[in-house]
Amino acid sequence: MNLASSFEQKFGHSPMVETRAPGRVNLLGEHVDYNQGIVLPAAIDRVVTLLASPTLDGIVTLHAIDLDEDVSIGLKEIDERCDIRGKPLPSWALYPAGVAWSLQRAGLPLGGMQAVYTSDVPIGAGLSSSAAVEVAFATTWQALSGWKMDKLPLAKLCQQAENEYVGVSSGLMDQFASACGVEGHVLCFDTRSLEWMPLELPAGTAIIIADSGIRRNLATSSYNDRRTACEQAVELLQKYLPEILSLRDVSSVEFAAYSMYLPPEIAKRAEHVVKEIHRVDQAIIALNRGDVRRFGGFMFASHKSLRNLFEVSLPQLDSLVEIARGLPGIYGARLTGAGFGGCTVNLVEEKDATTFMRGLQEGYRLKTGREIEVYLCKASAGAEARLVNEK
């Protein structure tokens, strides 16, 4: 059954709006978005697809097709995190409910809706499935309610929903990439100034994502612990570098001089961030020069740092990177997303993409006895809503 048929079967009429919001893959700049660094994500052609119609009763009725679950939420009671029967919202419903909460707090008029949605963005894989859901709902409410807002401010409201309603201290990168993606381009996003520009991916390259199959929940993982360690590093370094506001302000030379004053674990976390921010700066230069091999080298270096210093990798992710390193056509590989599971991203010569994907699957099977999903992805456009009857 297709999505439109599911909507009609559930609600007895046709939908008004169709929204698509992509997941994202981060090519470089991991765990620097909440340290005010520059990141290099790209929206991908794996998306949340949502069909919706407005209602006049202030009730949001959702059907999550992939879970085969339903919930109805009253917009007036959104603060209570309960459904219309007073039962606590299931975890999956916190994301659309959080968006409604954030939009209403911003003073935007919202009406009820009936919606069904599905996603081919793997959940918990580091491809920002939750951000794609948030941006899809925000974009849908914008289309149904008629108010205007640029994509970046809308992404910020989605981030607020995840931070303050869901309870995950994520940076802005995920929602930004889902909202603002540009086809064929990586997004150079300064998380401090919020300035950004698209950078064209080198011709003849392909993005290949390998899903380890290991899942983690950000709200219960060590993600928040890593963020706290970075904040503690800034607080301690300010005794010697009083002008710094975040780890972005600490140069490699300064860190070498003062890292001895940090507790060992905090020093390791901060070292990754300081060096990763420098890697991104150099990688942007390489990308502008079309030097894809040098860019790929920074990806490998990033993975090593995430493994050894930030300690968010796993043996399965390390194996995928090492197997990729020995395959034809590889430029660079690393874990992508918060870590603790999820995916690796590989930048590969396009003509070798099929051979590379098969080699990665076979190599992983030989090494671990496990099967993995591998996706050939394209950098895609950001979220968009359209009237269903539009041609």
Enzyme catalytic residues: 174
Q: What are phi and psi of 188, to 5 degrees?
A: -90, 105
CA angle (323, 324, 329) in 5-degree steps = 140
d(CA 1, CA 7): 10
